[in-house]
Amino acid sequence: MVSINNKQFSMKRIDIKVKQNTTQIWKISNKDNMMGEIHPFHIHGVQFRLLSVNGNTPASNMQGRKDTIMTRPGNQYKIMIKFTQPGFFMYHCHNLEHEETGMMGQIQVVP
């Protein structure tokens, strides 16, 4: 079973609600202790900047705008994100088998 924040995807649930044009700092952790898998974390409709990996400055090739980052087991990533368009967006693991079995969530961006 795969999940994000201990929840499997549900079309009936909004997991995150954000105000349009506000800058947010998110912490993303890969707590996959069972399989030791890398999860490519992807967000629809926006690009973000990787601020840190385990509290350290990311490598130079990771400092540009991203829409996906590879999250390694046991690591914590801090990203800065700003949704400029209102609407509904998805975030998920970009491993097809994981997103198909519920490793994703919904964001609602409100004006």
DSSP for 26-40, written as a single string: EEEE----SS---EE
SS3 99: helix
pLDDT tens-digit readout, 19-65: 999 999 999 998 866 577 889 999 999 999 999 999 999 999 888 99
Return the structure tokens found at 23: 């800058």
CATH, domain 16-110, list 3.90.550.50, 2.60.40.420, 2.60.40.60, 3.40.50.2300 = 2.60.40.420
Q: Rounded to an integer, what distance in angstroms lies between the CA atom of residue 43 and that of residue 3?
A: 15
Q: Model-level pTM?
A: 0.88
Return the higher-pLDDT residue of 4 and 54: 54
pLDDT tens-digit readout, 64-108: 999 999 999 999 999 999 999 999 999 999 888 888 888 899 999
